[in-house]
A and B are shown apart, each in its own frame.
Chain A
Amino acid sequence: MLEIKNLHATVDGKDILRGIDLTIKAGEIHAIMGPNGSGKSTLSYVLAGRDGYNVTQGDILFNGQSLLNLEPEERAREGIFLAFQYPVEIPGVANATFLRSAVNAVRKHRGLADMDAMTFLKTAKAKMKQLQMDEKFLQRAVNQGFSGGEKKRNEVFQMAMLEPALAILDETDSGLDIDALKIVAEGVNALRSPERSAMVITHYQRLLDYIVPDVVHVLSKGRIIKTGGKELALELEAKGYADIVADAA
């Protein structure tokens, strides 16, 4: 599904990613952990194609095709979804309007007809119910005035509607209360299938109790310094990053 090969990237001329190799197969969930500032969000932006994040070496293959020359919207339509660490507010644009445009942009790319308003509403309401989100959020402006947790839940709601092939969740668990964490994790698990993959960026092993990863990676200073199974997260929780980072240095 996703193959990252010797990826180097700069932001504002500064080297942030310094040689990342990572392969996620269809159906797998990989967790990315690592200290603040290690480059986790940067990796997610580079995968999503954000302007200003320049790949200087290496390649990213998605289903065998290089992503490097694709615009962010093309990558999104190919099935890459990023749940933002800091979701953005868009004043005056109803969540429903926004999401329906997104759903239809993706459908169009797949050669499907637009989803009509009625079907959209029905589907949206069903997904919201699963996520225990109030339907009022459909008519509210995108993320505007949402609490931190509500924003995160809204990201998962969008993901549920868009059904991406590869979901990248950047600290979606931060700011969620315990109940919300479970609900959001269920939302992610509901999408789990042999054709879909996910990259879950988190600081807390607790999330991984609910979304059980196949592989855990530790990112430090723009490199993956350790890769292991689910137990690696437990080890990090107990000991912190100091030992691993020291070993790698």
Chain B
Amino acid sequence: MAANAQTIETVEGLAGEYKYGFVTDIESELLPKGLSEDTVRFISAKKGEPQWMLDWRLRAYKAWLRMAKEKGEPGWAKVSYPEIDFQDIHYYSAPKKKTLKSLDEVDPELLATYEKLGIPLKEREILAGVAVDAVFDSVSVATTFKGKLKDLGIIFCSMSEAVREHPELVQKYLGSVVPVTDNFYATLNSAVFSDGSFVYVPPGVRCPMELSTYFRINEAKTGQFERTLIVVDKGAYVSYLEGCTAPMRDENQLHAAVVELVAMEDAEIRYATVQNWYPGDKNGKGGIYNFVTKRGACRGARSKISWTQVETGSAITWKYPSVILQGDDSVGEFYSVAVANNAQQADTGTKMIHMGKNSKSTIISKGISAGKAQNTYRGLVRVMPGAAGARNYSQCDSLLIGDRCGGHTVPYIEVKNRSAKVEHEATTSRISDDQLFYCRQRGLSEEDAVSTIVNGFCKEVLQKLPMEFAVEAQKLLGVSLEGSVG
């Protein structure tokens, strides 16, 4: 309830400016632009990686070279942008002071940045029960709360640390959900990923707090290639939150992350994202290219993976968090809000691959388009021959603001088992003058009216988010739709 009032304040305070558009002045170590085998070796060496990890990266790099030569970037999504020059990007950037033992050692400038971002990193936030792994450009800065988690046998650390300290787990699961050669960007990520988060929850353990990562791209002309791997063992549970911002810059920046989730028997993973990368200016100058591969595997029977995303930022979003339902009676969920305003382009959706018997999936997608933006839901529901009794329910709603934008729904349904039940519903609506006038007659400004109506439209998804995140997401929706009417 308070969220709306806060939305109002935020909207008024920001007057349409991208709130996270500041640049932090920190000395950083920056690898010269360009991509070659040496780049890959440099990154690997910088992180003190074992040989197997370097070999893995090099395999990916070779595969990527082949892909780049044969087909280039994927062209099937409904997005358009000039070809990316992969030699014009820095593949490694890190704040200079390193090897941190505690938060006190973190660069105060950096901590100030996190404070500006509203990330819970210090003592008082720890009270709020959030453990944060903050990734700044390419390096994981500090992971709070480790000790408490350790007592429970939960591992929550940066990917680099996991490679060094838990090689058996990383080797076993890395690339097991998103294979090295899965797609162009995932393959690139496999070669040059710089950091990210790693989580392991042992059998039967319910992680007592929300784990959270905050990504920020600070350096100009930097690509961010994080790699996240979450493995939840039998009967265990974790809820994971991810937030993203980037400073305002005129040139486009590439973000090509890979997230892999593995849920064993009776395990449950909830993964929530609030993505607010810089979307570029009104005319489409600048902004983040958000080309992300996220996939979860429900390996065990009765396992459950739930993706919730609120995508308000980025110039281009290309993202399909998916679930492979291998276990019998496993459950996959996808709840999504995607906003595209001004010149933003979003092509996002999910894939639900049913393999296990009686596996169930639910897809709720809310697409909001304003300005001259294009917003596409692209989803695949595939029921394999062995998935007797599989069920899917999909609901894709588009909301249009103004008449220059577009909302598109592209569902692919492939059913190879007769006992499966797949339902798909889609609606397109517009914010009506009647609704706007009704709200304004009650005293709400036009912008608050839009924000109120949009929040109502997204309610089913927003209520899936943890409380603090839901409030943040509501604010973001208001801010990102600033100036979309009138």
Q: Are B456 and A93 in contact (CB under 8 A)?
A: yes
Q: Are B455 and A92 in contact (CB under 8 A)?
A: yes
Looking at A29-37, A102-110, A182-190, A211-219, the stretch in contact with chain B turns out to be: A102-110
Q: Are B456 and A92 in contact (CB under 8 A)?
A: yes
Q: Are B448 and A105 in contact (CB under 8 A)?
A: yes
Whether A48 touches B441, Cβ cut-off 8 Å, given contacts A90-B456, A91-B456, is: yes
Q: Residue among B8, B452, B457 with the most chain A CB within 10 A?
A: B452
Asked if B438 is at the interface (CB within 8 A of a chain A CB), the reply is yes
Whether A101 touches B5, Cβ cut-off 8 Å, given contacts A73-B446, A88-B434, A92-B455, is: yes
A191 CA / B459 CA spacing, docked (Å): 34
Asked if B453 is at the interface (CB within 8 A of a chain A CB), the reply is yes
Whether A117 touches B444, Cβ cut-off 8 Å, given contacts A88-B434, A90-B435, is: no
User: How big is chain A's contact interface, by range?
Assistant: 35 or more
Q: Which of A76, A84, A96, A99 contacts B440 (CB 8 A)?
A: A76
Interface residues of A in 108-142 (CB under 8 A from B): 109, 114, 117, 141-142
Q: Residue among B434, B437, B442 with the most chain A CB within 10 A?
A: B442
Whether A88 touches B438, Cβ cut-off 8 Å, given contacts A93-B456, A114-B5, is: yes
Q: Are B5 and A104 in contact (CB under 8 A)?
A: yes
Interface residues of A in 60-110 (CB under 8 A from B): 71-73, 76-77, 81-82, 84, 87-94, 96-102, 104-106, 109
Q: Are A98 and B440 in contact (CB under 8 A)?
A: no
On chain A, the residues within 8 Å of B441 by CB distance are 48, 72-73, 76, 81-82, 84
Closest to A121 in B: B1
Q: Which of B433, B438, B448 contacts A87 (CB 8 A)?
A: B438
A106 CA / B443 CA spacing, docked (Å): 6
Q: Are B452 and A98 in contact (CB under 8 A)?
A: yes
Q: Are B2 and A101 in contact (CB under 8 A)?
A: no
Whether A102 touches B457, Cβ cut-off 8 Å, given contacts A51-B437, A84-B438, A90-B439, is: no
B179–chain A nearest beta-carbon distance, Å? 39
Closest to A72 in B: B440
Interface residues of B in 402-432 (CB under 8 A from A): 432
A80 CA / B193 CA spacing, docked (Å): 59
A104 CA / B448 CA spacing, docked (Å): 12
On chain B, the residues within 8 Å of A99 by CB distance are 442
On chain A, the residues within 8 Å of B363 by CB distance are none
Asked if B458 is at the interface (CB within 8 A of a chain A CB), the reply is yes
Q: Are B443 and A92 in contact (CB under 8 A)?
A: no
Asked if B4 is at the interface (CB within 8 A of a chain A CB), the reply is yes
Whether A88 touches B435, Cβ cut-off 8 Å, given contacts A98-B452, A101-B4, is: yes
Asked if B445 is at the interface (CB within 8 A of a chain A CB), the reply is yes
Closest to B438 in A: A88
Q: Are A92 and B446 in contact (CB under 8 A)?
A: no
Q: Are B442 and A98 in contact (CB under 8 A)?
A: yes
On chain A, the residues within 8 Å of B440 by CB distance are 71-73, 76
A116 CA / B437 CA spacing, docked (Å): 26
On chain A, the residues within 8 Å of B448 by CB distance are 101, 105
On chain B, the residues within 8 Å of A165 by CB distance are none
Q: Are A158 and B442 in contact (CB under 8 A)?
A: yes
Q: Residue among B432, B440, B452, B457 with the most chain A CB within 10 A?
A: B440
Interface residues of B in 430-483 (CB under 8 A from A): 432-435, 437-446, 448, 452-453, 455-460
Asked if A201 is at the interface (CB within 8 A of a chain B CB), the reply is no
A18 CA / B254 CA spacing, docked (Å): 61
Known: A93-B452, A93-B455, A98-B442. 19 other contacts (CB 8 A): A51-B433, A72-B437, A73-B443, A76-B440, A81-B441, A87-B438, A90-B438, A90-B456, A91-B456, A92-B459, A97-B452, A98-B452, A100-B5, A104-B5, A106-B443, A117-B1, A141-B456, A158-B442, A162-B442
A-B contact pairs, 6 of them (CB 8 A): A89-B435, A101-B8, A101-B452, A105-B444, A109-B443, A117-B1
Interface residues of A (CB under 8 A from B): 48, 50-52, 71-73, 76-77, 81-82, 84, 87-94, 96-102, 104-106, 109, 114, 117, 141-142, 158, 162
